[in-house]
Structure 1
């Protein structure tokens, strides 16, 4: 059996089987599952699978009634190969075994699951958190295209500056810019789909924003321009379309629904978009760009320290995806996002902390093996393997990793404040992988040098903070021991032995 299919087959029964899966998606590193009943998930067995680097439980129940996203960290590359195999297994199981009639045991389990779900919803599912997760679900599917087009744009800029291959430069520009010119349509499509509307109607309304003909429209003495409002306008327009569509379907006779509902949805939402949302979203987008530039220009060091220090907790909670609309807005306006290089310093702090853990625990073969396998991904900006496999289970090293990220962020923010402003032309990559995407106001060599110095600062401070402050004497005594002859089972979560578990602080 193919190893990716084998991984999917191992995961499926541990999340409650195909009947418990309501949705399947993935981002750069995580398999994101919608589940009906969390009680059916074998959390510890999942973490013990060799291919699983960690899990993130998002227990807030959304309006659909499922358990929200249960995120299984598989790592870059692997998750993109395992996800289609997992989807295929779910489809095959559904086709082969139709849902059986409910049994008393099943009804009892459903009742217990509903009670647990209600309790978790009251505790964890705040409206703000649910909204952020839904916004993330809109933009996560767009990341592969953002990465690919961003890298091509960077290559095109390099060829242009060097004066090489002039014949191919226009072609690369078209390839890199095509997606970004229509990103509003994709955002509208995904927004309607996420909020329960007809996806294509959301895309149709959002397409108004990028239609060149809006330049002929004047409202309130102001002229519209194509793309005004950007992805924020597209998101708002599609969300409005969802509510208009639902309102129409509740009131429209069935015989007229197929004709009038889509017509009224596009017409009403389109008019509000043209004569309201595009202006408002345009002002909001402009304010985001102005705020980001002023924040770094006037308080760069402090802003970088806060952003770099808090980003790892956001990654841990999966909420970092909520920043994608802000990054995308900045890229639309300025050609790059100035925030991403600062946030990337969090990964540098994590790498430095992991190297310190490696040296401080010379006799813990399990943790050292995890660090050796996860460091390459860490250098490329993928932090989940080190977070869930090393620093978070240990406790203190997670905090000292954040200190390293804060130091690197402060360095990059300070240089920005001194006039060396730069950013990333795309989102997704981080760490060393961000070098090809960097673009700034100064020479490229200077931009690359500042970013590299920021990474080195994050590595160094994360290492030193963890080496000297990342462990108590009790932790070192408990963790820094040679393994017993009886080895732990394959896939045992890093940082554990059959005798003891890492002591969190």
Structure 2
């Protein structure tokens, strides 16, 4: 997408979310533009979905516009610039209502159901545990682009090493791929302090103790510490402790000496607790996570894959999948890849298969078929939100049968892991076909790629078959297999303009 098109997309979105004065915060994750809103009623959901670059919307703690990886990173700065450029000096406390444009609303019943389900999920997710998991996710999500880039470079270096090509380049690629991972604890500490309201650089400073080579000279619990012991979990705990210590200091230390005393006490107290407690405890927890994942897939891979692949979509809907992010990162630190992600990616395959079955079963519903045609390219590349919120979840049964497809694909991948072909992803974030460049394993790239491709195929087929034969009741087919759009109406989504993005 060219820079002018990125700005055009941002300019198209801005008035549909109530204009610059309705925006309180702007951020983006891997695929979504996340904005805080003063007045949710000013957002024009259907018009937003009709913007060519928009793949879908999610109404959560922040309003989330799905643009896809790559695109979201380019549109967000343009959006921020437009908001800053056009924001009023003093934003009105009660902005005047923006009239909703007149347009054809397709699949109205499904849209209503989808909106109701989103509202119900939003209410369920507003629990202390789930809000905490979101904050943990906010710590790790900004690290994903570096994990992806370094993971692909590591894979390229492995290919060159195995083929003997460009031997002088291999060490350079290894350095680029490993540099970030060797210091990831520092970035986790920085983001943790930022997320929980502390001084980010102090969080990074305390977490840096974990990766400092000199810790090998320190005895704790009767053994020498190892640089990196405790990994990202230790960094998260250390930085969170630093935030608590810093807050206490800000409360009790006199203002005249705050600039000297608070940083010193924060790093000193948090650093000592990290060295003589947290590193050991976090190291034991990290080791337990790694050994448990290895044992689980080695001894019950097929069953474990079936459960993980089948339950991942519901976990996403409940917001509990965010608890897996530190686990993925820990496994990548320990082994170079996470064995869980290829299995969890099968949930997306089941979703794609289910959507294709819906397309085949409802030949007369032009509106829904248009939505599916627009969202399928993104679904194949691992972006499932448009299919989940626009198709399977509002329909109900197809969401369950999509989970069946994910379970079948997960069981397939887990079975081969149980048979000794262990592999995983060197980064988190991508899924579907986009995961191929990040795969790595001990049995070589040939078997690894073949098994992952086989799992996707099984997920597609099982999701399709389960949905085609069991995804609809007779009354559902009668109600849905009609064309809700008059022949002269213009569809709100143009499939030819929808980008095929991850």
SS of corresponding position for 2:69? coil
1:377 aligns with 2:378: yes
Deviates more, 1:124-133 or 1:362-371: 362-371
**1:81 and 1:318 mapped to 2: Cα distance?**
26
Question: In the alignment, which residue of structure 2 is the partner of 1:83?
Answer: 76
CA apart distance, 1:105: 9.9
1:270 has 2:271 as partner: yes
Task: Spell out the pairing of 1:32-431 with structure 2 (5 A cutoff).
Answer: 32-58=34-60, 68-94=61-87, 96-99=88-91, 124-317=125-318, 319-431=320-432
**Contact 2:374–2:494 (8 Å) recurs in 1:** no
Shift of 1:479: 2.5
Contact 1:152 1:172 (C-alpha < 8 Å) held by counterparts:
yes
SS in 2 for 1:72: strand
Tell me the secondary structure at the aligned position of residue 26 of structure 2: strand
Shift of 1:371: 2.4
Q: What SS does the aligned partner of 2:30 have?
A: coil
> CA, structure 1 residues 103+381, in 2 after alignment: closer, same or farther (shift >3 Å)?
closer
Counterpart Cα distance in 2 of 1:123 and 1:312: 16
SS of the equivalent of 1:300 reads helix
SS at match of 1:2: helix
**Aligned mates of 1:241, 1:460 — CA distance in 2:** 50
List per-residue Cα deviations over 1:257-278 (Å, max 9, x = no partner). Answer: 1111111111111111111110
Question: 2:209 and 2:494 mapped to 1: Cα distance?
Answer: 53
CA shift, 1:73, in A, is 1.5
Measure the CA separation in 1 of the matches of 2:321 and 2:402. 17
Is the deviation greater in 454-463 or in 77-86? 77-86
For the residue of structure 1 that corresponds to 2:440, the secondary structure is: strand
- Cα distance change on mapping 1:358 and 1:103 into 2, 3 Å: closer
Q: Is the contact made by 2:351 and 2:403 (CA closer than 8 Å) also made in structure 1?
A: yes
Does structure 1 residue 18 correspond to structure 2 residue 23? no
Distance in structure 2 (CA, Å) of the matches to 1:412 and 1:403? 15
How big is each residue's C-alpha offset from its partner over 1:2-42, in whole Å with a ceiling of 9 and x where there is no partner?
Answer: 33323323333443443443321112211112334545544
Report the more deviating stretch, 43-52 or 19-28: 43-52
Cα pair 1:184 1:231 within 8 Å, conserved: yes
Q: Which moved more, 1:147-156 or 1:215-224?
A: 215-224
The equivalent residue for 1:472 is 473
5+ residue gaps, structure 2, are: 98-119, 496-502
Residues 55 and 121 (structure 1), Cα distance of their counterparts in 2 relative to 1, 3 Å cut: closer
Shift of 1:120: 11
Equivalence for 1:443:
444
Contiguous gaps of at least 5 residues in structure 1: 59-67, 107-118, 494-505
Structure 1 318/5 Cα, relative in aligned 2: closer, same or farther at 3 Å? farther
Residue in 2 that maps onto 1:6:
8
CA deviation vs aligned residue, 1:305-343 (integer Å, no higher than 9, x gap): 111011123334555343221111001011111101100
- State the TM-score, normalized to the length of structure 1: 0.87
Which of structures 1 and 2 has the larger relative contact order (alpha carbons within 8 angstroms, sep 6+)?
2
In the alignment, is the contact (CA less than 8 A) between 2:27 and 2:76 conserved in 1?
yes
176-185 vs 427-436, greater mean Cα deviation: 427-436
Paired residue secondary structure (1:186): helix
Partner of 2:109: none
Structure 2 contact 353–461 (Cα < 8 Å) conserved:
yes
Distance in 1 (CA, whole Å) between partners of 2:440 and 2:146 is 19
Deviates further, 308-317 or 421-430: 308-317
User: What is the DSSP-based 3-state SS (H/G/I as helix, E as strand, rest coil) of the residue aligned with 1:189?
Assistant: helix
Tell me by how many angstroms 1:172 deviates. 0.3
Whether contact under 8 Å (2:55, 2:375) holds in the other structure is: no
Could you tell me how far apart the structure 2 residues matched to 1:450 and 1:30 are?
30
What secondary structure does 2:36 align onto? strand
Stretch deviating more after TM superposition (228-237 or 416-425): 416-425
Deviation at 1:477, TM superposition (A): 2.3
Give 1:227 shift: 0.5
SS of 2:486's partner is: coil
Q: 1:263 to 1:469 in 2, by over 3 A?
A: same
2 CA distance for matches of 1:81 and 1:440? 33
* Counterpart contact for 2:25–2:37, Cα < 8 Å: yes
Supply the distance in 2 between the matched residues of 1:413 and 1:326 (Cα, whole angstroms).
Answer: 18
Question: Residues 36 and 412 (structure 1 numbering): CA distance in 2 closer, same or farther, change over 3 Å?
Answer: same
1:249-299 residue CA offsets vs partner (Å, 9 max, x unmatched): 011111111111111111111111111110111011001101111111222
What is the CA-CA distance between 1:210 and the residue it aligns to? 0.7
Paired residues, number: 470
CA spacing shift, 1:252–1:288, aligned 2, 3 Å: same
The TM-score normalised by the length of structure 2 is: 0.88
Compute the displacement of 1:196 (Å): 0.6
**1:385 Cα deviation after fit:** 2.3
Over the aligned positions, Cα root-mean-square deviation in angstroms equals 2.5
Per-residue CA distance 1:442-483 (angstroms, 9 max, x = gap):
232222221111111101100101111112222222222344
